[in-house]
Every structure is written in C-alpha cells, then in structure tokens.
C-alpha cells in the first residue's frame, strides 16, 4: 500500500505536461477526458490510502531511505487518515470543477486542464508529506499554479490586479516559512517533521522556537486568509474563473488551516505543552476577529463572488477558532465543517457561474428579478444559503455541534454565540441575494459606481449560447449540495473523523509510527451526542439567517427611521472598513506586516 | 558563529517589506520582493556555514575536508527555482497590467476596490 503513496502527486505531474504539450492539437474532449482520468485516479488512490491509514497509518520513504535507529535522512510521505482524507477531498473538488467546466469554460490548448492537475498535485502532496521543507515546497507549488489560474483571463483588467495582489501577498508568506524552516533546521539538524518534533521534545520553548512557529503560522494563515492577512482572498475570488473559485474556497484556503494543525501537533506540541492556554487564547482571538470581520464584510457586498469570498473568510475564522482550541474533538468538528462548507460553497460559486453565463454580471442589483425564470438554479441557491447556516442535522451542523461542545469543554462556551452570528450573517447574505435575484424581492437600485466595474465580465467566460443553461451546470452543484446533506448523516462518518482527529493530535504516537514504524492502537474516542440544545441553537441560527436576509431586502425603511447619529456613525464605520480593502498591494502588505508584528509580539510575550 | 548574516537577513526582510509597501511602481514592488527573498538565502546559507568549510563537492577534495552543510545549499537552490517561476509570472502580469491599465502604479490600478 505504501508504494501507492507518491502516486497522487506523480500521476497529475505526468499528465499535466502531456496535456499542455498535445493540448494545442488534440480535440477538447480528449483534454477533458485525460484531466478527469487524472483526478479520478488521485481520488481513488487517496481514498485507498485513507482507508488503509485508518486501520494503521504508514510511511513511504522515497528511494527506500528509511530511518536508522530513529534518525530520518530520507524524505517521507506520512499517511494518516485525516491527511489522506483531505487529499481525497481536494481530488473531489478538482473533479467537480473539471466536470462543471465541461460545459462552462472555453479552455483552449490544454493549459487550463494542465494547471488544474498541477494544482491537484500540489494540494495532494501538501496533505501527504511528512517533511517540513516539502510542506513549504508544495505550498509554493500550489500557490504558483493558483496565481496563474487567477489570471487565466489575462485580457481583462481585474484578473491582472487580483493575481498580482494574490502572488505578492502569498510569496511573502512563503518567504517567512523558508526562514522558519532554516531556523528549525539550525536548531535540530532535521527536516522531517516528526524528527523535528522529537528533537524539540523536553526542551522549553525558547524565542527561536517561538519565532519559527510564528513565521510558519504567518505563511499558512496568509493562505488561509486570517485577518489581517486576508486582503488577497476577496480580490482573487472576485476575478478568478468560477471553476477556480470552487477550488480556492472549497479546499485551498482550508489547507492553510490543515497545515496549522499539522505543524502544531507534530512539531510544537512538545515544547509548547505548558503554554497551551496562552496559544489557545491567541488563536481564538485571531479566529474570532476573522470570523466577525468576514461576516460583516460579507453582508456589505453586492458583487456576489466577493460576497461568497468574504463568507469564506468568515468561516476560516471559525476554523481557526476550532484548530486554536487545540483539542482532538474540536479538530474533528473543524474537519466535518470544512467538508460541509467546501461542498456548499463550491455549489454556490457554480450557481454564481450560471448567473454569469446567462446575464454576464454577478452584481446583485443588476440581477434584480432577472433570475425568475431560472427556477432550478434559484431552488439550489436557496438550499445552498440555508445549508450555509448549518441547519440540523446535516454535515455542517454535525461539525459545528462538535466544535461547540469542544469549546464549552475548553472554557470558551461563548464561542457558540460567535459561530451562530457568523452562520446567520453569511447565510443571511446569500439568502438575501437569492431573494433579490431569483424572486425579485426588495427594492431595486442603480449601479454602484465603485463596484459595478468588476462585476461586469466583458469577455466571455462561458461558451454556448446564453438563452438556456446547460443542465450539467445545475447537476454538479445539485450533487454537491446533496453530498452536504447526506455525508454527515452516513452512519460512522463522524466517529471515523473523530478517530482520525484523535490520531492526528497524538504528538507522541505520530513520532512513534513515523520514525520507528511502531503500530499505534486506534485511539478510543467517546461517541459524541448531539444535544437538544445544539439542535435548538441550530434552528434559531437558520431563523436568524432568514431574518438577516429579510432585513437586507426590506429593512431600508426601518434604517431610515433610525436616529441620524446612529446612521451617520454606522455609515462612516462601514465606509472606513470598506476603504481598507483598497486593492492597493502596498496597503495589503502594510496590514500583513502589522499582523505579523501583532501575532509575533503576542506569541513572544505570552508563550514564555 | 557570526551573528552578521542573521542581522543582515532581518534588515533585508524588513527593508524589502517597506519597499513593497511604499512602491509606486509594480516593477519596484517585485524587486523589493526579491530583496525580502534574499533574506531567506542568507539565513539558509548562514545556518549551513562552517568556519573554514569547503564547498560540498566531494568528488575532487580529500575525504577528511571540512565541508559546509550541503543540505541548506540544496534548499537554497530549490528556493531559487521556485521564486524564479513566481517572479517570471509576476513580471508577465505587470507587462499585461501596463497594456490594460496603461500604468503600473499600484495606486492607479483601480479594477478592484471595495
């Protein structure tokens, strides 16, 4: 089984250049077929790996360079169920995006397909590797491909600017990580993550260890778009083609969260064991800030892709809180939530693509009432909006209830309220868009001079005539939404994730099976029960989301009756908040530097 | 072990960030990015340096020679290759920005504002 481990990276690596080389001469269907074969192969292999690792995690040493007496020289893929599962999830997303683009995207010359496969190779390697330097290299690989995919429609203005902002911000995050790798190598003489962790065990966390952790966190949280490192995300999502947005929001951003969890438990859990409380407080504070700011910005948007992007930022905040609780139950909750959120968000982006295809705009007010004839798309959009509110008993709710029980267990019970506010605001914003576009509810409004430009897509993103929607563009999001509903209800799915998370968070066991090949018993996880309180909170959240949507559609007269002081003050705050998202790369990096200083300062002060 | 390479690296990182923040020309932004990146080279090479060490090409020197750490040198090479790709991509995007916006001043790129 271990010998299959490298294939999720190797197969797309072999197919991608082939696609680019023959793409210019081969018919479109052959490119589609080849790319989808690659994605299916990766999916099947990753599922096999996940199932086998579920019974017993294993390591693949490249070239047979096995560790001697517990000292690793070679480069390893360390396959544990959560990592392999995440790689499989990435393959599902790529497969969905490729299927959707069959009818959607006028891709020529095999470039798009080749890039999608390289993206998949980067993500799969990122999930499977057990080597810190490789983790950074795969990070850079998927980033470089992502920049190119963002600027795929290079003839237009907005994608160029979006890709530049994305590339500069993420490159700086990458440099921070290179320095962190060098520092940890200087301290331990190792690049294997388990080996670094073992070398740091039993030592106290000195400034070098803390600074290297901060630098790694900065890189991964830039990818995950935590505030204030998040500015690139909304720009990139607003301009990237819809199938690419599906991957960005559905899985790439979440991989940043995955890596934060990975490096904490494998490398830093030992030296920071005495400081878990302080680190928890720092990460939860970061998560809550991200969640609330993302949710507020989400409600303020009228460009639908940007709105969905800020909703992703908001959910990232929830995930950062979850990982930041530093417990296996919370991590299991995050994993379930990531799957549910990814599927739902992917479907919503695809439905956004339907609107783009038919009307060439994704501006909420331009589309006022124009979606009335698109009944199926409207129903799916509403379903997606409701699912985003995490209604019981579906996948997102399962994840959220695990998270809530973990946070009250860790003394952060008030996080439940934050999660509810986030779900209600982001889902409410999506439902508001649905009501306005597909039902024609609420007053109409003229074009917004600031935002109208990027919302109009002048160059055709889609092929085919525009008087009907290709069925495939509705079938794929339909399947994804169904999967969101069904997956969390599959018996054994949540206990499997809980077990995988328990294994993931076992610092000593990870070192034992990676470095010494020892079998580790599958940890026993107490089954978690969804309480009646969770269900009631879940239902109230859905109701609140509907209320938020209603307020967005019909609330203007009520706002007009508010005292003038509140209106002016609120309007001013909103304007200032929006002005921060200026599209100017210098501003973004200034915020990045501030964030780095705050995070670094907080960690150095609190973790000593 | 000298402290100098790390101090220089910290300076390069910070001054490069300042360049990216303050630049009014995207080419200069990318050049500043390479300055930030040079910090990573310095740290990696500084970590692997051994006083009086030879280049780690073991084919034509005595086996007992003192060598600098080859691992960090390989890491630097990987770093260079990755960033060459990203910088080429960025410069291509900037050429395209000049064509479409008629300017490469980030303050005049106004396709994305919230």
Residue A411 backbone zone (phi > 0: left; psi -120 to 50: alpha; other: beta):
left
- Count helices and strands in chain A by DSSP H and E runs: 25, 2
| Interface touch B109/A583, C-beta < 8 Å | yes
Helices (H), A61-206: 81-104, 111-128, 132-150, 157-188, 193-200
| Interface touch A144/B86, C-beta < 8 Å | yes
Q: Return the structure tokens found at A161.
A: 């600017």
Helix (H, G, I), strand (E, B) or coil at B51: coil
CA-atom Rg of chain B in angstroms: 19
Residues 6 or more apart whose Cβ sits within 8 Å of residue B98:
B104
| Interface touch A143/B86, C-beta < 8 Å | yes
* Total Cβ atoms within 10 A of residue B60: 5
More reliable by pLDDT, A335 or B3: A335
All residues of chain A having their beta carbon less than 8 Å from the beta carbon of residue B37 are 171, 175
Element (H, E) at A241: none
ipTM exceeding the 0.90 mark: yes
Upstream peptide bond of A228 is cis (omega within 30 degrees of 0)? yes
A139 to chain B, closest Cα gap in Å: 11
Q: In this structure, is the dihedral angle defined by the CA atoms of residues A148, A149, A151 and A153, taken in order, positive or negative?
A: positive
- Please check whether residue B13 is in contact with residue A172, taking contact to mean a CB–CB distance below 8 angstroms: no
Query: How much is the pLDDT for B113?
Result: 72
* Total Cβ atoms within 10 A of residue A440: 14
Q: Facing residues of A456 across strands?
A: A361
B100 interface with A at CB cutoff 8 Å? yes
- Please check whether residue A43 is in contact with residue A95, taking contact to mean a CB–CB distance below 8 angstroms: yes
| Interface touch B112/A158, C-beta < 8 Å | yes
Query: How much is the pLDDT for A464?
Result: 55
* Total Cβ atoms within 10 A of residue A525: 18
Helix (H, G, I), strand (E, B) or coil at B96: helix
Q: C-alpha distances in angstroms, A466 versus A5, A175, A357, A390?
A: 44, 45, 6, 34
Closest Cβ opposite residue B79 in set A178, A185, A301: A178
Q: In this structure, is the dihedral angle defined by the CA atoms of residues A584, A585, A590 and A596, taken in order, positive or negative?
A: positive
Closest Cβ opposite residue A160 in set B44, B83, B97: B97
Helix (H, G, I), strand (E, B) or coil at A410: coil
Closest Cβ opposite residue B93 in set A163, A191, A579: A163
Query: How much is the pLDDT for A284?
Result: 96
| Interface touch A164/B26, C-beta < 8 Å | yes
The structure tokens 């990435």 sit at: A90
By DSSP bridging, strand A58-61 and strand A76-79 are: antiparallel
| Separation CA A323–CA A526 (nearest Å) | 19
B89 interface with A at CB cutoff 8 Å? yes
Which regions of chain A are under pLDDT 70?
Answer: 106-109, 446-466, 522-523
B60 to chain A, closest Cα gap in Å: 24
Closest Cβ opposite residue A161 in set B21, B33, B112: B112
Closest Cβ opposite residue B86 in set A162, A171, A301: A171
The closest of A310, A315, A347, A349 to A334, measured between CA atoms, is A315
Q: Return the structure tokens found at A61.
A: 């040493």
Query: How much is the pLDDT for A517?
Result: 83
CA-atom Rg of chain A in angstroms: 23
- Please check whether residue A589 is in contact with residue B20, taking contact to mean a CB–CB distance below 8 angstroms: yes
| Interface touch A167/B93, C-beta < 8 Å | yes
Query: How much is the pLDDT for B88?
Result: 95
Q: Return the structure tokens found at A96.
A: 């969905």
| Interface touch A450/B113, C-beta < 8 Å | yes
| Best residue in A146, A148, A154, A164 for a mutation probing chain B (most B CBs within 10 Å) | A164
Query: How much is the pLDDT for A458?
Result: 45
All residues of chain B having their beta carbon less than 8 Å from the beta carbon of residue A133 are 75, 78
- pLDDT digits over A75-84, tens only? 999 999 999 9
- pLDDT digits over B29-64, tens only? 999 999 999 999 999 999 998 888 888 888 887 878
12-31 in chain B: CB under 8 A from chain A:
13, 17, 20-23, 26, 29-30
Q: Facing residues of A462 across strands?
A: A105
B40 to chain A, closest Cα gap in Å: 5
- Please check whether residue A384 is in contact with residue A485, taking contact to mean a CB–CB distance below 8 angstroms: no
| Separation CA A405–CA A96 (nearest Å) | 33
B51 to chain A, closest Cα gap in Å: 15
Task: Determine the residue of chain B that is closest to A191 in CA distance.
Answer: B71
* Total Cβ atoms within 10 A of residue A448: 15
All residues of chain B having their beta carbon less than 8 Å from the beta carbon of residue A131 are none
Helices (H), A389-489: 395-409, 415-438, 452-455, 472-487
All residues of chain A having their beta carbon less than 8 Å from the beta carbon of residue B10 are none
| Interface touch B114/A583, C-beta < 8 Å | yes
Residues 6 or more apart whose Cβ sits within 8 Å of residue B30:
A168, B87, B90, B91, B94
All residues of chain B having their beta carbon less than 8 Å from the beta carbon of residue A181 are 75
- Please check whether residue A128 is in contact with residue A9, taking contact to mean a CB–CB distance below 8 angstroms: yes
A332 to chain B, closest Cα gap in Å: 34
The closest of A582, A393, A407, A573 to A494, measured between CA atoms, is A393
Helix (H, G, I), strand (E, B) or coil at A192: strand
| Interface touch A137/B43, C-beta < 8 Å | no
Helices (H), A373-414: 375-388, 395-409
- Give the count of alpha carbons within 13 A of B3, CB side only: 1
Residues in chain A: 608
Element (H, E) at B92: helix B70-101
| Separation CA A332–CA A523 (nearest Å) | 14
All residues of chain B having their beta carbon less than 8 Å from the beta carbon of residue A238 are 112
B36 interface with A at CB cutoff 8 Å? yes
All residues of chain B having their beta carbon less than 8 Å from the beta carbon of residue A450 are 113-114
């Amino acid at each position: 089984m271990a010998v299959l481990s490298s294939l999720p990276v190797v197969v797309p690596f072999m197919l991608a250049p082939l696609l680019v080389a023959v793409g210019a001469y081969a018919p479109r269907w052959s490119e589609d077929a080849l790319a989808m074969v690659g994605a299916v192969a990766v999916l099947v292999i990753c599922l096999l790996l996940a199932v086998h690792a579920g019974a017993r995690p294993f390591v693949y040493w490249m070239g047979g360079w096995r560790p001697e007496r517990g000292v690793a020289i070679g480069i390893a893929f360390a396959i544990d169920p959560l990592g392999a599962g995440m790689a499989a999830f990435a393959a599902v997303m790529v497969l969905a995006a490729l299927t959707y683009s069959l009818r959607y995207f006028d891709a020529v010359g095999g470039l798009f397909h080749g890039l999608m496969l390289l993206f998949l190779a980067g993500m799969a390697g990122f999930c499977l590797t057990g080597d810190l330097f490789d983790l950074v290299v795969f990070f850079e690989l998927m980033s470089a491909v992502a920049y190119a995919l963002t600027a795929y429609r290079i003839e237009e203005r907005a994608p160029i600017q979006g890709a530049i902002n994305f590339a500069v911000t993420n490159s700086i995050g990458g440099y921070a990580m290179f320095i962190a790798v060098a520092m940890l190598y200087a301290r331990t003489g190792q690049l294997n993550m388990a080996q670094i962790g073992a070398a740091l065990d039993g030592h106290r966390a000195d400034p070098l260890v803390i600074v290297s952790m901060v630098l790694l966190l900065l890189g991964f949280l830039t990818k995950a778009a935590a505030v204030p490192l998040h500015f690139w995300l909304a720009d990139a999502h607003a301009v990237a083609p819809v199938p690419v947005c599906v991957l960005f929001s559905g899985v790439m951003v979440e991989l940043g969260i995955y890596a934060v969890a990975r490096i904490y438990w494998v490398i830093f859990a030992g030296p920071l064991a005495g400081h878990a409380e302080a680190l928890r407080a720092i990460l939860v504070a970061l998560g809550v800030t991200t969640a609330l700011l993302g949710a507020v910005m989400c409600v303020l948007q009228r460009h639908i892709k940007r709105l969905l992007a800020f909703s992703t930022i908001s959910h990232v905040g929830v995930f950062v809180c979850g990982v930041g609780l530093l417990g296996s139950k919370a991590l299991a909750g995050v994993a379930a939530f990531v799957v549910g959120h990814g599927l739902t968000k992917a479907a919503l982006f695809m439905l956004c693509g339907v609107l783009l295809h038919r009307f060439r705009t994704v501006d909420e007010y331009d589309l006022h009432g124009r979606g009335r004839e698109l009944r199926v798309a409207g129903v799916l959009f509403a379903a997606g909006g409701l699912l985003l509110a995490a209604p019981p008993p579906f996948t997102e709710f399962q994840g959220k209830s695990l998270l809530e029980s973990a946070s009250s267990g860790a003394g952060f019970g008030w996080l439940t309220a934050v999660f509810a506010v986030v779900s209600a605001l982001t889902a409410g914003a999506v439902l508001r868009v649905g009501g306005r576009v597909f039902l024609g509810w609420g007053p109409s409004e003229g074009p917004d001079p600031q935002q109208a430009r990027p919302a109009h897509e002048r160059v055709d993103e889609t092929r085919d005539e525009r008087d009907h929607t290709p069925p495939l563009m509705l079938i794929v999001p339909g399947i994804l939404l169904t999967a969101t509903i069904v997956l969390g209800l599959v018996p054994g799915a949540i206990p499997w994730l809980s077990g995988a998370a328990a294994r993931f968070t076992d610092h000593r066991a990870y070192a034992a099976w990676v470095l010494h090949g020892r079998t580790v018993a599958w940890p026993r996880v107490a089954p978690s029960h969804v309480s009646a309180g969770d269900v009631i909170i879940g239902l109230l959240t859905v109701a609140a989301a509907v209320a938020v949507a209603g307020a967005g559609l019909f609330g203007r007269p009520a706002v007009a009756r508010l005292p003038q002081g509140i209106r002016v003050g609120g309007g001013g705050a909103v304007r200032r908040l929006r002005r921060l998202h200026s599209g100017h790369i210098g501003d973004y990096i200034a915020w990045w530097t501030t964030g780095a200083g705050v995070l670094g300062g907080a960690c150095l002060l609190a973790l000593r | 072990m000298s402290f100098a390479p790390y101090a220089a690296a910290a300076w390069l990182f910070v001054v490069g960030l300042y360049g990216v923040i303050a630049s009014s020309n995207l080419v200069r932004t990318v050049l500043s990015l390479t300055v930030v990146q040079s910090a990573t080279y310095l740290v990696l090479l500084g970590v692997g340096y051994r006083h009086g060490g030879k280049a780690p090409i073991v084919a034509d020197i005595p086996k007992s020679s003192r060598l600098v750490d080859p691992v960090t040198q390989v890491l630097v090479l990987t770093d260079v290759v990755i960033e060459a790709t990203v910088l080429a991509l960025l410069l291509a995007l900037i050429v395209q920005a000049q064509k479409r916006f008629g300017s490469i001043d980030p303050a005049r790129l106004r396709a994305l504002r919230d």
